[in-house]
Amino acid sequence: MSVRSFGQTTTLNDLHQSGSLKALFPQQSGPDFQAVLINTAGGITGGDSFSITARAATDSRLVLTTQAAERAYRAQPGQVGRLENRVVVEKGAHVNWMPQETILFQGCSLARFLHVDMQAGASFLMVEPLVFGRAAMGETLTAASFTDRIEIRREGQLCYLDRVALQGNIAAQMARPNTANGAGAMVNLLYIAADASAQLAPLRAMLPDTAGVSLIQDDLLALRLLAADSYLMRQILIPILNRLTDDNLPRCWMT
């Protein structure tokens, strides 16, 4: 999928989709072009392979989100579900990469990748919420596998690299005081824009003791959040996203 700038708005330039992963495009109410991704299979299990490639051309504005939470279901032994996402943000363009939660289920095996290539003057907001089983259903992850790699480059130079690897009894690992102290949900948020440093103090004032935010570079802000469950996570996260998107969150995030 690619989008391009057209006057004061952004329009779809190219689209190819196949399999159970589809994109819908709600009616625009502002300058951003919004794509809502839907996995019609209902989730990801071992042996599944999904990929998304998106390009925001010069001076365009693209929002990528999901209709609902993604679910990583039980996999057969030796099988892994894969989700690989690539985003290109050209000169002066802006992309919001903001899928809703990924929920890990008992027995799941998921390997996820996000590769972002940014050109000069581009800006980018990423949020990746992750839920370790549904607390309201009494679910615990005693046998599961999750790996995640995020790689962001600007003009070909690596500026951010993050990797998470959780195997086996994830509940026990998350219960460790120096890991997550029993948290059932986690958020990784990254904001790369000229006003990143100006966002630091206001965001810190919005965070609980289980979260932190720092400037990695003058225009690169990283935030981590732990919460007891997905409900509390959203209570904290949505005001932050409203601030960083100028109160222009996709409607699917609010339902």
pLDDT digits (tens, 9 = 90+) for 189-220: 999 999 999 999 999 999 999 999 999 999 99
DSSP state of 134: -
d(CA 109, CA 56): 31
Using pLDDT thresholds of 50, 70 and 90, give the confidence band for residue 159.
Answer: very high
Using pLDDT thresholds of 50, 70 and 90, give the confidence band for residue 138.
Answer: confident
Helix/strand/coil for 76: coil
Given a cut of 90, whether residue 114 has pLDDT beyond it is yes
Better-scored residue on pLDDT, 255 or 99: 99
Of 36, 92, 27, nearest to 61 by C-alpha is: 92
Burial class (CB in 10 A: 0-12, 13-18, 19+), 44: buried
Single-letter amino acid, residue 46: G
Mean pLDDT of the chain: 95
Of 241, 196, 240, 187, nearest to 218 by C-alpha is: 196
d(CA 220, CA 150): 15
Using pLDDT thresholds of 50, 70 and 90, give the confidence band for residue 156.
Answer: very high
d(CA 140, CA 182): 11
Mean pLDDT on 171-182: 94
Segment 6-20, tens digit of pLDDT: 988 999 999 999 999
Beta bridge partners of 190: 126, 222
d(CA 20, CA 38): 8
d(CA 204, CA 199): 9
The tokens describing 186, both together, are 């986690």
Contact 129, 187 (CB under 8 A): yes
Segment 19-42, tens digit of pLDDT: 999 999 998 777 899 999 999 999
List the domain boundaries for the chain. 2-254
Given a cut of 90, whether residue 255 has pLDDT beyond it is no
Position 29 scores a pLDDT of: 72
End-to-end Cα distance, the chain: 26
DSSP state of 114: E
d(CA 63, CA 234): 19
H/E stretch holding 14 reads: strand 9-14
